[in-house]
Amino acid sequence: MAISHAAIVGAGMAGLTTALALAARGIRTDIIEQAPHLAEVGAGLQISPNASRILARLGVLSGLEAVWTEPERIAISSGKSLHQLSHVPVGRFARERWRAPYGVMHRATLQHVLQAAVENNPLCRLHLGQRIGQNCRTSIKSMIGSTPDVIIGADGVWSSIRDEIENAPEPDFSRNVAWRFTVAAEKAPSFLMPQAVTAYVGPSCHLVCYPLREAGGFNVVAIASGVSPGETWEVHASMEQKRMLLRQFKGWHPEILSLLTGMESGKFWPLYQVSDGRWQNGRDIVLVGDAAHAMMPFAAQGAAMAIEDAWELAARLAATPALGDALSSYETSRKARIARVRNRGAFNRFAYHVRGPLRVGRDIVLALRPPQALAADLDWLYGYEAGV
């Protein structure tokens, strides 16, 4: 085993999952978070089988299954006609084909379940309201009273730990924003399907909708081009920004336009990604989650990739005698996986937002492919077995 003690900076999904994965292998962790309490921004979250399989190994899946929804299908529909173009079966099919479930839930649900598991684990210590200074090693030692074997940066797209790594990834605004809001079941339009995750696609923008059992309604995410508001997640939008969003959905089905017009929360989230770069310094610092590879949400794999990172980093730290070798092996393996997921996201972005005659061709191709064939295309993603 390369280490016996790790310090994790950041107590989001990546940080908490990493702590649990390390604890499962007998490694102590101190998780340091600058926020005085944990509150997950955003609304809905999709957990695909490649991630739920890991959450089951960590003993937290049953807590999620008690409150989440397992949709019957992932559908692609026209934003202009509402007609379904194709779908991938999930629900029971996902459990049988990929040996793990596909679920949707509120982000706060996963945050709370992970936090409770960390707080109940004797190998994990959570330090809230603690900010890392310029010298991260000195700051961490003063906070936890000892020097950890490794420092894990799980502090998101604007990671401060990433600054400690030469030629590390750099954040970049994608020129897209996500408008996220929820709709109560009693106010939901009839086209919102209670047993499906549906992507409504159209020129240069798209809309994703799925049920949120905890919220008693639906999660809606509208993704379109936008202007960067700076280094922040949640932004209160002006009326002009809302009008700009509606202009981008011009020509879509009237029911979708009515849904967006009636959006009660005038908030949006700028979508940042990070460039390629080094994830570890070869000695004692390594990155997980968005700090290493923040990506666009077109493959719905941001949370899943962070969960995979956590499991695979812990596996290598436990199985590899030399720390430097463990970090290098983790980086090499995960970069190959992330590159493939990014490529899938880029393909989805093109397919969702295509214009003109290509759009007609896309619709024909999707209509001709049976659901089982589309599911087979995802075996490499959903059937992935993380670990060494």
Mean pLDDT by 10 residues, the chain (388 residues): 91 97 98 83 87 98 96 95 95 97 95 96 96 88 93 96 96 88 91 94 92 91 74 60 84 94 77 95 97 94 97 96 96 97 91 79 84 95 87
pLDDT of 42: 62
Cβ 23 vs Cβ 355: under 8 Å: no
pLDDT of 302: 94
> Hey, what are 336's tokens?
């190959």
pLDDT of 236: 65
**Would you kindly state where each structural domain of the chain is located, as residue ranges?**
5-66+107-170+275-350
Q: 238-241 contacts: CB < 8 A, separation 24 or more? A: 238/266, 239/266, 241/266, 241/268
Could you tell me whether strands 285-287 and 150-153 are parallel, antiparallel, or unpaired per DSSP bridges? Answer: parallel
Q: What are phi and psi of 230, to 5 degrees?
A: 105, -170
Catalytic residues: 210
pLDDT of 155: 95
pLDDT of 227: 58
pLDDT of 357: 77
pLDDT of 35: 83
pLDDT of 265: 65
Closest CA to 64 of 9, 33, 106, 118: 106
Euclidean distance between CA atoms 273 and 171, whole angstroms: 6
100 class by beta-carbon count within 10 Å (0-12 exposed, 13-18 middle, 19+ buried): buried
129 class by beta-carbon count within 10 Å (0-12 exposed, 13-18 middle, 19+ buried): exposed
Cβ 142 vs Cβ 32: under 8 Å: no
Euclidean distance between CA atoms 207 and 201, whole angstroms: 7
| Cα torsion angle, 16, 21, 23, 28, sign | negative
Q: 364-371 contacts: CB < 8 A, separation 24 or more? A: 366/76, 366/85, 366/86, 367/85, 367/86, 369/86, 371/73, 371/86, 371/87, 371/88, 371/89
Question: Looking only at Cα atoms, what is the longest distance across the chain?
Answer: 64
Four-way CATH pick for 5-66+107-170+275-350: 3.50.50.60, 3.40.47.10, 3.40.630.190, 3.40.50.620: 3.50.50.60
Task: For tokens 């926020």, name the residue.
Answer: 35
